[in-house]
Amino acid sequence: MVQPAIVHVIDDDDAVRDSLAFLFESADLAVATHASAVAFLAEAPGLAGGCVVTDVRMPEMNGIELLKRLREIGVTLPVIVITGHADIALAVEAMKSGAIDFMEKPFDDEVMLRAVKSALVRHGKAVEEGQERAGIRQRLATLSNREQQVLEGLVAGHANKRIAHELDISPRTVEIYRAHVMTKMEAASLSELVRMALVVGVTGSVATTD
């Protein structure tokens, strides 16, 4: 089941958490609040969709440390950090550590909403692309060695006759393998097949015989 996109607000200040939660909920965004980075990390590994809005200065673990920890455990949620005027250096460090944006206090509500919505769209696309790549790789794994060779020849732009010559098989046999590849890869056209192959890094090469 696909998890809903949730805006995770992390701040040790109750008033800030409540204010941001109200802002996002007013924009029909799902929100979860966390009093510390440590509390958020307890559930972070299971999160798949959404984004994070976190203060950069917090006890126990600050925003920079949180960013580094998220990358270590493989959590790719986009992170927006909140900083004070005196924290610009920290904000820059946060960007270098993976944050996609930072907001200076006091921030404009509309600017914050635009940043969060942009982060959600960006992450949503990344998730979809990741799922597409995973699906293509699964289908690619079902191809036989010979089918993979034919696919590589097609991606390289070779005609059936050339692929047949390189594999020392007949053009008719190449056509059969090509049909199998199209079916297994669930490609409706050659262009779609090539696009899928390129998505997962199959760039095509001169086919070789067994």
Strands (E), 56-208: 79-83, 101-104
Same-domain pairing of 194 and 171: yes
pTM over 0.75? The answer is no
For residues 142-175, one letter each, b for 16 or more C-beta atoms within 10 angstroms of the residue's C-beta and e for the rest, the string is ebeebbbbbbbbbbbebebebbbebbebeeeebe
Return per-residue pLDDT of the chain as tens, 210 residues.
Answer: 445 689 999 999 999 999 999 999 999 999 999 999 999 998 877 776 789 999 999 988 999 999 999 989 888 889 999 988 777 788 888 888 889 898 888 889 999 999 999 988 887 777 677 778 889 999 999 999 999 999 999 988 899 999 999 999 999 999 999 999 999 999 988 888 988 888 888 876 644 444
User: Is the C-alpha dihedral spanning 160, 166, 172, 178 positive or negative?
Assistant: negative
Residue 209 included in any domain: no
Where does a domain end: 131, 166, 185? 131
Same-domain pairing of 171 and 101: no
d(CA 143, CA 35): 50
3-state secondary structure of 161: helix
Residue 210 included in any domain: no
Same-domain pairing of 178 and 118: no
Q: What is the CATH number of the domain that holds 68?
A: 3.40.50.2300
Same-domain pairing of 148 and 93: no
Encoded tokens for 12: 């040790």
Same-domain pairing of 36 and 89: yes
Q: How crowded is the C-beta side of 179, counted as CA atoms within 13 Å?
A: 5
Same-domain pairing of 19 and 87: yes
Residue 121 included in any domain: yes
Residue 204 included in any domain: no
Q: What is the CATH number of the domain that holds 151?
A: 1.10.10.10
State how many domains the chain has: 2
State which residues form the domain around 150. Answer: 142-199
Same-domain pairing of 164 and 96: no
143: which DSSP letter?
S
Residue 92 included in any domain: yes
Q: What are the distances in angstroms from CA 43 to CA 58, 117, 137, 158?
A: 18, 22, 29, 50
User: 137: which residues sit within 8 A by CB, 6+ positions away?
Assistant: 200
